[in-house]
Structure 1
Amino acid sequence: MADKSQATVEIVVFIPEQCSPLDLSSVVEPFELTNKQLGYEKYQLRYASQKQGQLSISSYLTLSVDYTFNDEFDCDVLIILNQYKPSAPLPQSVKKRLQDLYQQKNIEIFAGYAGVFWLAESGLLAKGTSALHWSMMDEFNDAFSQLDISVNLYESLNRITTCSGRVAMLDCMINWLETQESRELVHALSEQLCMDRIRPANERQNIPSNHLGGDLQPRLTMSIERMESNIEEPLSMDEIADSVNISRRQLERLFKRYLNCMPAKYYFQLRLKKARQLLLNTNKSIIQIGLCCGFSSGPHFSSAYKTFYGLTPREERTALFNVKE
């Protein structure tokens, strides 16, 4: 029998207006399954919104609101989810409430999908880089041009995590649970969810290449397509720039503006991402995978892979085998 006196973790999910059922289930399901594994309700979820009563999530799903955001409540974790950016400027009371929860209550805050706008408007994203769903990047950049945007699935800094949302929210929550629970429990959780792996924060979103930079920057799209077509035998940055009729400096400025990184780094990470896909989904040898992704030296491939993913290719494949066992 589980010890009911064990400490609980109070989680408040703040849905200001409306959120996607997918975002919501990606948050709720990991905690409910973890509670079942533990045998008691360690993770206790409550819901907050701007108004009391029933909150409509979709035509078939409503939630009972436990708190309005102006109510006094304590929590260990606050998760902000919303489907759209704020429909009007945030009231000063909401900004102050978010600031107080973070600065005085010392809680952890997560924001997914358009929930990131609430943190930005409250001044809580002044430092670091924020992850945002690719479809909202232009809109966010227009509103908060002084803030850095990441194309990664999620970013964490100083108790604040921003997430691109959707299924990435599931990876984000399970990644956080890894810091709270045993590795065995998290492996059991991933098996329950039929996940072959938990994607790390630094994995990039799968952004349609024709979206990057919008229609106004076709050369950025063309440059990325050149990179994706030349993984095994990488091109130099000068060759890529020449192929799209711009200078290397112009290429670097495009990548810095729209992807917040240099083209060489982006290309390098594309190759590592391809290597990881081959490592986890094929029976190719590690040496073959390195060669397929433009790494002529095994040690160089292993070192680069570990720097980016935290494990060597051999450790990654062994860990996958152990989970499936």
Structure 2
Amino acid sequence: MLQLSESGRPQPPVLRIGFWLMDAFDMYALANALEPLRLANQLAGGEVCRWQMLSLDGQSLNASNGIATHTARLDQAQAFDVLILCGGDNPQLQAEHPQLIAQLNHWALQPVSLGALGSAGWLLAKIGALKGFRCSLPEPAAYLAFAAFSQLTPVAAPFCVDRQRLTCVGPQAVQGLMHDLLARSHGRGLILRMEKHAARQARPLLPVQDAPAKLQATLALMNEHLSRTLGIDELAEAMGISVRHLERLFKRSLGCSPARHYLDLRLQQARQLLRGGEQSLSEVATACGFVSLQHFFRCYRQYFGAHPRDHMGTGLLKRGSMLAVPASSRVGSLPH
């Protein structure tokens, strides 16, 4: 049955990805693949993608840096739409593994998208899985002299998605590959929000003493009115400037709108109060200017990627006064 969002629009299905790990896999590449997926779920306020770590035998595997990762058996995996091979710097050893090659041949014939990160793509080339597909692969080592390579159609790009084949040249290109997958399944708008979030997180802290005087005064006024929030027109009037001028000040100095920054302040205050563990969810919502619990839950989950109760301190939990809220609450969009 097709799910609908709160707006009544069809809800895109969850993108299901299996990461097929090999011994000494590249942890950097895997991390670069997982982080966009995690952020997509956080900003969407729900599960838009789901992933699982897989291997041939379902044992824990050590990455090339020695970090152990638990995996499930590939033949016992949950259903997925995309299967991505994650290897290390020496695909020659895997190419000599008959069980792995047999499984690759099997999955190359299945109605799922098959991909590989970095040099693992040469294993797809070895079995002929890239024949007739454009691909993006790193420079081959001297020992990678497979006859099938003459049938490749390489492209001069960091990553390539051609129908049911996904390839990329290395760890730095993995994020772009994941963004492309998410854009195809859930739209470019989600990717733009992810990029905006990343830019905001990478923005250095603005020394308040160096900010324009009107901006400093507005920030102070916002901090003084977190429970009874002021409208943007009220803030502008208090500063003796136009709303447009105030918006330009925030955009130029903080890279966001006054409403966006005001909401950030209130949500950060909410997390601080929750961690103190002395107030209920309803009390925290009121103290931070939210007119309804449902609106508070939606904004909080989208900003922090967690329900407010997940950040509650132990004091209130011990008194057993935590408010129960359905975990299925959906998340709306936040102003920017």
Q: When the two structures are superposed, what TM-score results if normalisation uses the length of structure 2? A: 0.50
Aligned to 1:192: 197
Structure 1 residues 169 and 95: CA distance shift in structure 2, 3 A: same
SS of 2:52 mapped into structure 1: strand
Please tell me whether residue 182 in structure 1 is matched to residue 174 in structure 2: no
Cα distance in 2, alignment partners of residues 11 and 47 from structure 1: 9
Question: Which residue in 1 is equivalent to 2:150?
Answer: 146
Pick the structure with greater CA Rg: 2
In the TM superposition, what are the counterparts of 1:25-174 in structure 2 within 5 Å? 25-59=31-65, 61-67=67-73, 69-71=74-76, 73-83=78-88, 84-104=90-110, 106-134=111-139, 136=140, 138-140=142-144, 144-148=148-152, 149-174=154-179
Q: What is the letter of the counterpart of residue 63 of structure 2?
A: I
Q: CA deviation at 1:15?
A: 1.2
Separation of aligned partners in 2, 1:181 and 1:30? 13
Instruction: Deviation per CA, 1:43-71: give whole Å up to 9, x if none.
Output: 1111112333322225463211122x344
d(CA) in 2 for partners of 1:187 and 1:46?
Answer: 25
Letter in 1 for 2:177: C
Greater mean deviation of Cα atoms: 125-134 or 180-189: 125-134
Q: Secondary structure at the residue paired with 1:179? A: helix
Farther off after superposition, 120-129 or 31-40: 120-129
Partners of 1:34 and 1:153 lie apart in 2 by 21
| Aligned equivalents of 2:94, 2:25: Cα separation in 1 | 16
Distance in 1 separating the partners of 2:148 and 2:33: 26
CA contact (8 A) 1:81 1:112 kept: yes
Which whole-Å CA distance do the structure 1 matches of 2:67 and 2:91 have between them? 21
Higher RCO (C-alpha under 8 Å, 6+ residues apart): 2
Q: How many residues align?
A: 191
- Cα separation, 2, equivalents of 1:89 and 1:60: 22
**Percent of aligned pairs with the same residue?**
17
Structure 2 residue 21 is matched with structure 1 residue 15:
yes
Measured in 1, the distance between the counterparts of 2:65 and 2:97 equals 28
Q: Once superposed, what is the RMSD of the aligned Cα atoms?
A: 2.9
Equivalent residue, structure 2, for 1:258 = none
Q: What CA distance in whole angstroms lies between the structure 2 residues aligned with 1:192 and 1:56?
A: 32
Query: How high is the TM-score relative to the length of structure 1?
Result: 0.52
Kept after mapping to 1: 8 A contact 2:126/2:149: no
Name the SS of the counterpart of 1:178 in structure 2: helix
* Residue of structure 1 equivalent to 2:237: none
Cα distance in 1 for partners of 2:98, 2:17 equals 23
Q: In structure 2, list runs of 5 or more residues that go unmatched.
A: 201-335
Residue 31 of structure 1: how far off its partner (Å):
0.6
In the alignment, structure 1 segments of 5+ residues that lack a partner are: 196-324
The one-letter amino acid of 2:55's match is S
Aligned letter for 2:179?
Answer: I
Within 2, Cα distance between the matches of 1:47 and 1:157? 24
* Aligned partner of residue 161 in structure 1, secondary structure: strand
Amino acid at match of 2:137: L
Describe the superposition over 1:227-283 as per-residue Cα deviations: whole angstroms up to 9, x where unpaired. Answer: xxxxxxxxxxxxxxxxxxxxxxxxxxxxxxxxxxxxxxxxxxxxxxxxxxxxxxxxx
Return the alpha-carbon distance in structure 1 between the equivalents of residues 171 and 147 of structure 2: 22
Separation (CA, whole Å) in 1 of partners of 2:65 and 2:186: 35
Q: Matched residues in 2 for 1:17 and 1:147: separation?
A: 28
Which residue identity is paired with 1:161? L
SS across alignment from 1:17? coil
- CA–CA separation in structure 2 for the residues paired with 1:192 and 1:140: 41
Give the letter for the 2:35 counterpart.
E
Q: Which residue in 1 is equivalent to 2:293?
A: none
- Quote the offset at 1:34 in angstroms: 0.5
User: Residues 158 and 145 of structure 1: is their aligned pair in 2 closer, same or farther, counting only changes over 3 Å?
Assistant: same
Shift in CA distance, 39/60, structure 1 to aligned 2, threshold 3 Å: farther
Change (3 A) 1:150 1:138: farther
Give 1:159 shift: 0.7
